[in-house]
């Protein structure tokens, strides 16, 4: 199993550009999550999904969108990038809702 994979690993965006962060898991997990990690601030939940076709907002959803058309994939979309979205983004998945498996992260810089 590859576990949770994320692409790209690094990205630099200009203000106002858009991009999609990809997340795929091969563990047949029903739950998937997107977090952002800012220095010294821990992890904040952006969006989560309890299964294909079902998504819900987390703590910091503004400026982001998600979709979940399959069990495996949970992309995160940034429509109009802003400097405040400079962060490290982690995707995670779980089966029993509690024990989450994390991807390696995407480091995004918006300038």
Partner 1 sequence: GNSVTQMEGPVTLSEEAFLTINCTYTATGYPSLFWYVQYPGEGLQLLLKATKADDKGSNKGFEATYRKETTSFHLEKGSVQVSDSAVYFCALSDRDNGGSEKLVFGKGTKLTVNP
43 binds partner 1 (CB under 8 A): yes
State the minimum distance, in angstroms, from the CB of residue 77 to partner 1: 21
Contacts of 50 (CB under 8 A, 6+ apart): 30, 31, 56
- Cα distances (angstroms) measured from residue 34 to each of 109, 111: 17, 22
Q: Per CB under 8 A, which of residues 59..88 are in contact with partner 1?
A: none
State the minimum distance, in angstroms, from the CB of residue 69 to partner 1: 19
Contact with partner 1 (CB under 8 A) among 16, 17, 26, 56: 56
Question: Taking a C-beta distance cutoff of 8 angstroms, is the pair 63, 85 a contact?
Answer: yes
Among candidate residues 8, 5, 10, 1, the one with its CA nearest the CA of residue 32: 5
105 binds partner 1 (CB under 8 A): yes
* Positions in the binding site for partner 1 (CB under 8 A): 4, 33, 40-43, 45, 48, 50, 56, 58, 90, 92, 97-105
């Amino acid at each position: 199993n590859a576990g949770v994979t994320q692409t790209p690993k690094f990205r630099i965006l200009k203000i106002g550009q858009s991009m999609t962060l990809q997340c795929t898991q091969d563990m047949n997990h029903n739950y998937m999550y997107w977090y952002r990690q800012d220095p010294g601030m821990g992890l904040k939940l952006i969006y989560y999904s309890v299964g294909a076709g079902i998504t819900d907002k987390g703590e910091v959803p503004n400026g982001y969108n998600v979709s979940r058309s399959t069990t495996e994939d949970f992309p995160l979309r940034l429509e109009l990038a802003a400097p405040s979205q400079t962060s490290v983004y982690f995707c995670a998945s779980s089966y029993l809702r509690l024990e989450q498996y994390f991807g390696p992260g995407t480091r995004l810089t918006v300038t």
